[in-house]
Structure 1
């Protein structure tokens, strides 16, 4: 080899080493291993952390992806009453179980193009893979900009190619690792290193040793837990397991009967391990309960608006007769409307149009206070996410529609009684919306609290206690640190 060739080869080698060193600097943690993980640590880390079977984490992932209109909740029991009580429609079921190869013989051999399906190509990504395999097949769900583009770019790929694309999709990985603590990251890195070293030792044994000595594979009693998904699509029930080559279909369905069939399959799987004390977990992906509450409230608002328009035609000035006193709450005001009280006030009777006096109406010498103008809602309300588009899309409630369309000569008292019922219903719907909104906000805070890393605090405890010489000092240090931890923790 000539001197110039050697020099060129050395230069290429140095360049490769420099590039490798720069890459190592880019992905290494910028802070000490004992320090809590930062957002920058999570962004640069190339691994995938384990995800607990907690709906808060799954919903947070969906939110970070930009997926809207669907939500995950835990299913505590697989009986009919519990399943029927889930929000409808139920888009899919996520099942957490101890991974095993019981279904290997049942695997489909042909590639199916009826559903979007990706294999799991990296360890611990099963939660995100299960979510993707569900949301990619739910009709009329808003996927968000990044996931929509990913779906379009992978539509012609095989499950293996999609799995590789998921593994390389930093947007999905970073959302998956949102709650990773430094200890989680270091543990996964160590586990990966141990697997790599084990594989390296196996390769170094030599071809002859491997060919001449056949060893029975060791049974692995430490198989990890694994998420798979079930869902209805194209008239079939599908099992989406990223560890299998293809999605598996195991029956047809009608309406919500698919959930009952899937529940039977999961119960059968649970029964196989009933004596081993293995825990299972079931999550349901349903329509977002907050969206359901919005739609029901929009239907109520549209019905009230239609009813009030009819009342304006048949009984002008009716609004002055729907309350008894300024000191009543809106619900109490509406509950005061009974057919008798309305008849006493001349509504729907022969007394004619009531006389008005400023903000009061006068009927038979009795002044009646008008209701608060902000109550009830009869139009868009940002506080409840209700806009004009949602109201226009809503349907007038069946009972209101029947009365308004089929009986044009209704007495005002009947219309006002229906108005009272709708207002009471609206108060209940608004309370349900507010309760669900609080629940989702609390869930987000619980998910965010998962990032709190107690490792540095525990190490400080141990260090201070080790440095303390007498028991009183140790006790004082411990009490102080406990107080500080209560202040610092979320």
Structure 2
């Protein structure tokens, strides 16, 4: 949370309103009757000593420190950093985080409006919503009127450190959705099933893999700035505690105040779980049920979540800004599986009805889809032969007596056409992932050292001074 700027008044002393007289010049005497007297020069030993000390002081070079601050940063340094940097609300960055965390069956899309028309355009199913809003602590609900219990299997973690709300909201969605799967995150969930939400937040804070993924865009200067901000916050808190102890009377009890939030923007999550829609805010003590999941086919849980988001937006000021991301199930795995199954069906059909008769001029499906064409789909002929099979209904159709060569050829062409359509969808989805990761990798590269060396070279050649003088002359 960015603190509002404070301005300190400048106090000026009234003791030196007139310019002091010069001691080294001869005083002007206007009265001619006053006899001439020799002028005695007054020496200023303190001033001379100060000037000599100033001349003898050798300025400390900040070159090595500057070089270190503006230098490149290794992955080990980023991993060992114990803080969390601010994360911008970009669907590409969140999608890259999912890939880095091992989630292959989910994608993220930004939402620009709320309503049934928007929900229908989203790929289904939607596993959760990430809502970014301007946090106004005095107007926030403390969910004290909600029922004290929630499903024991609902995974919820508190935010226990500054700037971690984005990852906490993401984890609160992943841990309650089928996209979790196995692997590393599944082990994290199993290790935190029987501990409280605050301890889950501490667990996430101590996980180097999760924290390093959160900080994947951080530069060295970002990490140093975050360390400095934490130091300043600690000093301010110590000053407030000291002032409170000196002004507080022993007979009075301190009033309970809401905690100050470190950032003016905050991420929370909305997920469907069992028969209700839940708001998972890491700064609250427990999940908040926002409404039951509708049973009618005309509506869905997104309608309930959208209404809760609108109510929260109405509580904020009219100048607040918001951002909404939807995490939905990626169709890539299903589309790839359908493509492999249909190509295997083509191969089985060709092998039974056309493989032994060259005059039919029906090409082998692996000639239509050679390895060069299967490679962008992350498939191969051996994988299709080994991992896919014909559905039972297709085998029964081929074994029917009236299934002649004419029907077989028509079915073969139909399957080839379906494979070509699925090929387009799979390539488009994989290209989207590739572009997202390429953008992610390019943002990881730190150009600060190169810019620093370039500006340094300009200064050494005198070009920088000329540019500054030219700009001053134009202004």
Whether TM-score is above 0.5 comes out as: yes
Alpha-carbon deviations, 1:128-152, whole Å to 9, x = none?
11121111111363242x3222211
> Where does residue 412 of structure 1 map in the other structure?
405
Q: Match for residue 22 of structure 2?
A: none
> Could you list the per-position Cα deviations for residues 417-456 of structure 1 after superposition, in whole angstroms to 9, with x for gaps in the alignment?
2322221221121122122212211111111122233433
Matches of 1:141 and 1:124, distance apart in 2: 24
Query: Which among 180, 199, 204 is matched to residue 141 of structure 1?
Result: 180
Judged with a 3 Å threshold, the aligned counterparts in structure 2 of structure 1 residues 161 and 111 are, in CA distance, closer, same or farther, namely: farther
Query: Which of 278, 283, 290 matches 2:325?
Result: 283
Q: Distance in 2 between matches of 1:471 and 1:244?
A: 52
Q: Tell me, in whole angstroms, the C-alpha distance in 2 between the residues paired with 1:86 and 1:375.
A: 33
- In structure 2, C-alpha distance between the alignment counterparts of 1:236 and 1:294, rounded to whole Å: 33
Displacement of 1:247 in angstroms is: 1.4
Rate the CA distance shift 1:247–1:474 in 2: closer, same or farther, 3 A. Answer: same
- Greater shift in the superposed pair: 449-458 or 127-136: 449-458
1:430 to 398, 401, 423: 423
- 1:297 deviates by 1.4
Match of 1:84 among 120, 123, 128: 120
Report the Cα distance in structure 2 between the residues aligned to 1:125 and 1:430, rounded to whole angstroms: 39
> Does 2:353 correspond to 1:300?
no
Please state how far the C-alpha of 1:159 moved relative to its aligned partner: 0.8
| Structure 1 counterpart of 2:105, from 52, 60, 69 | 69
Alignment of 1:410-489 (within 5 A): 410-469=403-462
Distance 1:169 1:30, change over 3 A: farther
Correspondence for 1:174? 212
Q: What RMSD over aligned residues (CA atoms) do the two structures have, in Å? A: 3.9
Q: How does 1:72-471 map to 2 (within 5 A)?
A: 72-100=108-136, 101-105=139-143, 107-110=146-149, 112-139=151-178, 141-144=180-183, 146-205=184-243, 207-211=245-249, 223-253=263-293, 254=295, 257-273=300-316, 275-276=318-319, 278-305=320-347, 307-308=349-350, 311=353, 317=357, 320-322=360-362, 370=363, 373-376=366-369, 384-386=377-379, 387-388=383-384, 392=388, 408-469=401-462
CA drift of 1:56 comes to: 2.4
| Pair 1:437–1:185, CA change in 2 (3 A) | same
CA deviation after TM superposition for structure 1 residue 242, in Å? 1.0
- Report the Cα offset of residue 119 of structure 1: 0.5
C-alpha distance in 1, partners of 2:457/2:179? 57
Give distance in 2, aligned partners of 1:444 and 1:125. Answer: 22
What SS is found at the alignment partner of 2:228? helix
Aligned to 1:3: none
Retained in 2: the 8 A contact 1:112–1:246? no
- Compute the displacement of 1:206 (Å): 5.2
The TM-score, its normalising length taken from structure 2, stands at 0.71
- Give the Cα separation in 1 of the matches to 2:337 and 2:313: 37
State the TM-score, normalized to the length of structure 1. 0.69
Cα distance in 2 for partners of 1:285, 1:92 equals 5
Q: Which residue of 1 aligns with 2:74?
A: 38
C-alpha contact 1:108 1:247 (8 A) present in aligned 2: no
Instruction: Sort the Cα spacing of 1:116 and 1:218 in 2 relative to 1 into closer, same or farther, 3 A.
Output: closer
Distance 1:455 1:409 in 2: 72
**In structure 2, what is the Cα distance between the partners aligned to 1:408 and 1:421?**
20
Q: Structure 2 vs 1, CA of residues 207 and 444 (structure 1 numbering), >3 Å: closer, same or farther? A: same
User: What's the CA shift for 1:274?
Assistant: 7.1
Q: Aligned partners of 1:215 and 1:115: how far apart in 2?
A: 33
CA distance in 1, matches of 2:415, 2:162: 53
Give the SS at the match of 2:104. Answer: coil
Task: Write the distance in 2 (CA, Å) between the matches of 1:118 and 1:167.
Answer: 11
Question: Does 2:93 match 1:53?
Answer: no
Alignment CA distance shift 1:30-1:138 (3 Å): farther
Distance, in Å, in 1 between the alignment partners of 2:201 and 2:466 is 56
CA deviation after TM superposition for structure 1 residue 79, in Å: 4.1
Higher CA-based Rg:
2
Query: Aligned-pair distance for 1:383?
Result: 5.0
Give the number of the structure with larger relative contact order, counting CA–CA contacts within 8 Å between residues 6 or more apart.
2
1:48 is displaced (CA, Å) by 0.5
Question: Cα gap change, 1:252/1:382 in structure 2, threshold over 3 Å: closer, same or farther?
Answer: farther
Q: 1:202 to 1:148 in 2, by over 3 A?
A: same
- The answer to whether the 8 Å contact 2:165/2:267 transfers is yes
Separation in structure 2 between the aligned mates of residue 265 and residue 175 of structure 1, nearest angstrom: 30
Aligned equivalents of 2:274, 2:401: Cα separation in 1: 45
CA drift at 1:458: 4.0
Shift of 1:87: 2.4
Could you say if the C-alpha distance between residues 112 and 160 of structure 1 is closer, same or farther in structure 2, counting changes exceeding 3 Å?
farther
